[in-house]
Structure 1
Amino acid sequence: MKPIPLAVTARAAALRLPVSGALYHLPRPLGWSLIVPDGSDRRGIADAAILMLDRLEPDTLYRLRVAGMDEIEFRTRACAGMHVAAGLVPARDPGDLDAARGNASRLVAAIANLPRGGTLVLPPGDWLAMPVALRSDMVLHLSHGAVLRAPSDRRDWPILPARDGQGRMLGSWEGLPAACFAAPLHAIGAERLVIEGPGTLDGGGAQGDWWTWPKDTRDGARRPRGLHLVDCHDVILLGFSIRNAPSWTIHPQGCSDLVAAGLQVDAPPDSPNTDGFNPEMCRNVLIAGIRFSVGDDCIAVKAGKRGPLGEDDHLRETRGIRIRHCLMQRGHGGLVIGSEMSGGVHDVAIEDCEMRGTDRGLRIKTRRGRGGAVSGIAMRRVRMDGVGTAISVNAHYHCDADGHAHRVQDRAPAPVDATTPRIDGILVEDVTIRDLAHAAGCFLGLAETPIRNIRVRNLRIESLDPTARPVLPDMADHIRPMLHETLLAEQADLDCDDPGLISTAPITLQEVTHVPD
């Protein structure tokens, strides 16, 4: 057994410590030492399964020793040159637009002048800046004590159009092309991009009025993300903190081959739609060792949304998402898939994670009109503490303006066409639930396309929340409040190795009053 490198850059590395029973935290702390060729070493204590190392030297061979594991060697990447951002002006207050504009101009110029493969270092300090675009073949290193903060005033804030000149979706909102304010840090079409270091990105959502209009458009645009990556390839995000995003915190859109490890993602519990990490229409994404505490879903995997008139030219599938050793605290859901899933979401696995106090654990949500398919979803070795509904799969999710319409909520079979969603293949294995409030599992499928191939193995309910009260387990019409339920299924093919966990109680109310279209 030896540490497994997940990502190594010129000055940082993320390694997985493969300890039996490790979730986000290790069962017990382990000492480590990092040795360079001259024999000098650094020592520390690891308490998390993902070990983050920084302050490394480029193109240097290191040996890592972790207590109880075999020694490994790894070499950091070469660096084409390091430049410290110069001339930045400290912020006097969040509304200091002169400082924000000047700092952004200096950062943009420094990025343009970086050699290919070079590193731009943000020095310690509290730096206010208007949104900045990153490019290919660069590293942004956030020093310890460095905070890059967005201003509270959106005057002169750049806007991403819904599409570029070739029709490619740039700006988006809930899975559809839409003009949106550019994220404080963003990149379009970048390759071999690294953002690393122990510093902090602050999206400024706690200042200004961003959180007062969560579903609206102002000045012709939707709210910005905290970090927005559009059609980027070979991206590494390591070690930094990101907080107070105006809307979704990290939004990779149409990206491939992305590694995010050792981050801290924070937003106040009452901040609207501040999801933590939302890979949308992406391929081959690893999310490892991230601590989430946000105002909405911790991780929401998406694949775009079919338009109201059936528009689908912007859609692409999401495939190959791996989530390991993460800690989800608060939040509406731990791992959520949908409801924007029209391009299809396939091959998603969450393993060795902890969820604490989230409304739901694993959640899949869709509805008639979405189309697309969700398949190959696995949750293994996950512990949930104080989660309301541990597993929720809902094909009658009442989103959008017509979400309560009869055609969306009707339990009778509807005609099957391109707008009919499908869910096939859910594995839940070695999951422990403590202080269960509402239901261990609630699976509500469509009569015309029932949920297929649900397998539950070694699910343990260790305790019930004695303070819980009956509430609805998910957002669908005609369902009943639940308290301390086990596994319930309607229009769903459920196979559990413990038949005693399968409830015969209905999900849907016995008397249904339809809401007219």
Structure 2
Amino acid sequence: MQFNIVEIFNRSVTAELVSDRIFKQDAEFDVYINGEKKLRTDRNVFSVMGLLPDTKYVIKVEAGDGSFSEKEFVTGHESVLLDVREFGAKGDGETPDTAAIQAAISCCPKDGTVYLPAGDYYSTALFLKSNMTLWLDEGARILGDTDRTHYPILPGMTRTTDEKDEYNLATWEGNPLTSFASLITAIDAENLDIIGPGTIDGNAQNSDWWKDAKKKRIAWRPNDMYLVRCRKVRVQNVTIQNSPCWTVHPYYSDDLAFLNLYIHNPSDSPNTDGLDPESCSSVRILGTVISVGDDCIAIKSGKYYMSLKHHKVTEDVVIRNCKFERGHGSVTVGSEIAGGVKNVRVSQCIFDGTDRGLRIKTRRGRGERSVLDDILFENIDMSGVHMPFTVNMFYFCDPDGHTDYVQNQEPAPVTEMTPAIGTIAGRNINCEGVSACMLCAVGLPESPIGKLQFENIKASFLPEAERVPERPVMMDNFDEMTGRSIYAKNVKELVLKNVEIHGCADTAPELLGVEKQELSEVEYC
């Protein structure tokens, strides 16, 4: 079995099989370190923990038939290991441990590790720094304090002393608004590792974070993990759960790796997206399982003010060998995308029981820099996804989302506030258990969707008795659908090749304002 080493840490390693199988293998295989069996798994991306720093190892992957491959690697350097218990942390789930853990972090030298052994560490926001590792061992859990008044507040935007610039610390749904500091916060940090197999638990179900979720109380809700202007951050084999708001939120950060994470929030928890890179570049999300109350992954780049004053495109995002369960969308682009999004690759993933699979959402007012382009989904298995592909340029978010300016379907003047969509593509995708509509795309009449290209798609609908009418796109004056195959409106070019649709209620696509169409081997069964 061929594999590549993805990342080497000071006490662990992550590897990925070279395989066209989606997310996992048909049978389990064994992983050995220096001849000792360490792991048995069927996952394409896997992590081996419990290694020693500055040590040479041989990792061997062996299949059930005896075939194997192996590679050598050397773990990273570690200058010192600081146990938070020695700084006074109790880990009893009741005693406030924030000060003790923060003391260990503050005292940690370059290339040092702050170590949390098994226990429940009751804490408010912790601030990490550059050139360190935070290690949550087996059974270690950082448990969020349930009293919001115990959390520090991060100002949204502060004028610099010379009044020539701005210093941004906090954000709320794409705007620079004052928010509570997150349970794990890093600001302007680089070369930072956070490794498991322990847990970061926001404990929101035992607090009031999910009550009146859209109402600001003192400050806006925090995340479980918030990374601001960070570089070279890696998060490996950690469970992250019960977040007050978006769970993992990298913000204006670059060169990020999220490996073998398990992100979980209750299905009815509000705005608890799984992982939302906003105005970030070079982001890798591998081997991660997400099950949440909103979008599993939502790729963002802020609202108009941030694009105008602090423009940064989100680009070069790789999502591979992941599994997304429940949630409103499996992988979403939007809706706070005023800075634009480009070069997104989603492959070898399972979408299981989410409302939508590929979900694009934008609207008038995002601005001319809001260009979404070069987004590719391939080699995907969808099961029980009601609406596999949706593209919506009338998304009714924000206080003005239902105004005539946003929702009027007549052509509006093209201005500096008009967004655009380039090419969205999907290929080699199997969709089982479709309900409302396989592909629903609605562009702006004054700014049609550039190109939708779908190849080698197989879709099968639920039996009619099991289908429930739903609105594939969240916009005003748009009817619910059930059993619909393809609906496209205001699109410059639509390409469908080798598309096979079983059990839908219609027998042909409904195309309105589609300038160019190439329909090749589109079969209704």
TM-score, normalisation: structure 1: 0.92
SS at match of 1:312: helix
For residues 122 and 134 of structure 1, what CA distance do their matches in structure 2 show?
A: 14
For residues 47 and 504 of structure 1, what CA distance do their matches in structure 2 show?
A: 39
For residues 20 and 30 of structure 1, what CA distance do their matches in structure 2 show?
A: 16
For residues 463 and 173 of structure 2, what CA distance do their matches in structure 1 show?
A: 34
Q: Which residue of 1 aligns with 2:335?
A: 339
Q: Which residue of 1 aligns with 2:128?
A: 134
Q: Which residue of 1 aligns with 2:101?
A: 107
By how many angstroms is 1:463 displaced?
A: 4.4
Count of residue pairs brought into register by the alignment: 493
For residues 410 and 463 of structure 1, what CA distance do their matches in structure 2 show?
A: 32
Instruction: Say whether 1:193 aligns with 2:192.
Output: yes
SS at match of 1:71: strand
By how many angstroms is 1:311 displaced?
A: 7.4
By how many angstroms is 1:163 displaced?
A: 2.2
Maintained 8 Å contact 1:33/1:44 = yes
For residues 499 and 128 of structure 1, what CA distance do their matches in structure 2 show?
A: 53
Q: Higher strand share goes to which structure? A: 2
For residues 200 and 500 of structure 2, what CA distance do their matches in structure 1 show?
A: 48
1:218–1:58 Cα change, 3 Å: same
SS at match of 2:405: helix
Q: Determine which of 336, 341, 349 is the counterpart of 2:345.
A: 349
1:137–1:43 Cα change, 3 Å: closer
By how many angstroms is 1:91 displaced?
A: 4.0
SS at match of 2:210: helix
Q: Which residue of 2 aligns with 1:313?
A: 309
Amino acid at match of 1:366: T
Q: Which residue of 2 aligns with 1:414?
A: 412
For residues 459 and 124 of structure 1, what CA distance do their matches in structure 2 show?
A: 47
Maintained 8 Å contact 2:334/2:360 = yes
Stretch of structure 1 that moved more, 44-53 or 171-180: 44-53
For residues 261 and 333 of structure 2, what CA distance do their matches in structure 1 show?
A: 21
By how many angstroms is 1:44 displaced?
A: 2.6
Q: What is the CA deviation profile of residues 366-385 of structure 1, one whole-angstrom value per residue up to 9, with x for unaligned ones? A: 00011211001000001110
For residues 270 and 92 of structure 1, what CA distance do their matches in structure 2 show?
A: 25
Amino acid at match of 2:496: C
Instruction: Say whether 1:88 aligns with 2:89.
Output: yes
By how many angstroms is 1:43 displaced?
A: 3.7
For residues 74 and 507 of structure 1, what CA distance do their matches in structure 2 show?
A: 56
For residues 424 and 291 of structure 2, what CA distance do their matches in structure 1 show?
A: 26
Q: Which residue of 1 aligns with 2:253?
A: 255
For residues 164 and 258 of structure 1, what CA distance do their matches in structure 2 show?
A: 26
For residues 387 and 153 of structure 1, what CA distance do their matches in structure 2 show?
A: 37
1:357–1:311 Cα change, 3 Å: closer
For residues 213 and 232 of structure 1, what CA distance do their matches in structure 2 show?
A: 31
Runs of 4+ in structure 1 deviating by more than 4 angstroms, as ranges, are 499-502
Q: Which residue of 1 aligns with 2:490?
A: 491
Gaps of 5+ in 2: 161-165, 502-506, 514-525
Instruction: Say whether 1:441 aligns with 2:439.
Output: yes
Maintained 8 Å contact 2:300/2:333 = yes
Maintained 8 Å contact 2:93/2:120 = no
TM-score, normalisation: structure 2: 0.91
Q: Which residue of 1 aligns with 2:523?
A: none
Q: What is the CA deviation profile of residues 470-508 of structure 1, one whole-angstrom value per residue up to 9, with x for unaligned ones? A: 221110112222112222210012101137769433689
For residues 108 and 45 of structure 1, what CA distance do their matches in structure 2 show?
A: 36
For residues 165 and 59 of structure 1, what CA distance do their matches in structure 2 show?
A: 44
By how many angstroms is 1:25 displaced?
A: 2.1
Q: Which residue of 1 aligns with 2:215?
A: 216
Amino acid at match of 2:313: E
Maintained 8 Å contact 1:177/1:314 = no
Instruction: Say whether 1:325 aligns with 2:354.
Output: no
Q: Determine which of 17, 38, 47 is the counterpart of 1:52.
A: 47
Q: What is the CA deviation profile of residues 78-123 of structure 1, one whole-angstrom value per residue up to 9, with x for unaligned ones? A: 1111111122124455xxxxx32xx111111111111101001011
By how many angstroms is 1:329 displaced?
A: 0.4
Amino acid at match of 2:41: A
1:111-510 counterparts in 2 under 5 A? 111-164=105-158, 166=160, 167-219=166-218, 221-307=219-305, 312-371=308-367, 372-466=370-464, 467-492=466-491, 493-498=493-498, 503-505=508-510
By how many angstroms is 1:69 displaced?
A: 4.1
Q: What is the CA deviation profile of residues 337-387 of structure 1, one whole-angstrom value per residue up to 9, with x for unaligned ones? A: 000000011111110000111000000000001121100100000111001
Stretch of structure 1 that moved more, 63-72 or 174-183: 63-72
For residues 195 and 390 of structure 2, what CA distance do their matches in structure 1 show?
A: 35
For residues 333 and 268 of structure 2, what CA distance do their matches in structure 1 show?
A: 22
Maintained 8 Å contact 2:486/2:510 = no
For residues 248 and 24 of structure 2, what CA distance do their matches in structure 1 show?
A: 23
SS at match of 2:100: helix
For residues 303 and 18 of structure 1, what CA distance do their matches in structure 2 show?
A: 32
Q: Which residue of 2 aligns with 1:15?
A: 15
1:478–1:64 Cα change, 3 Å: same
Work out the percentage of aligned pairs sharing the same amino acid: 35
Stretch of structure 1 that moved more, 397-406 or 265-274: 397-406
1:215–1:315 Cα change, 3 Å: farther
For residues 311 and 459 of structure 1, what CA distance do their matches in structure 2 show?
A: 36
By how many angstroms is 1:6 displaced?
A: 1.5
By how many angstroms is 1:154 displaced?
A: 1.5
Maintained 8 Å contact 1:12/1:197 = no
Stretch of structure 1 that moved more, 155-164 or 120-129: 155-164
For residues 442 and 307 of structure 2, what CA distance do their matches in structure 1 show?
A: 27
Q: What is the CA deviation profile of residues 394-431 of structure 1, one whole-angstrom value per residue up to 9, with x for unaligned ones? A: 00111112212222122221111111010001110000
1:465–1:84 Cα change, 3 Å: farther
Maintained 8 Å contact 1:427/1:456 = yes
For residues 120 and 249 of structure 1, what CA distance do their matches in structure 2 show?
A: 22
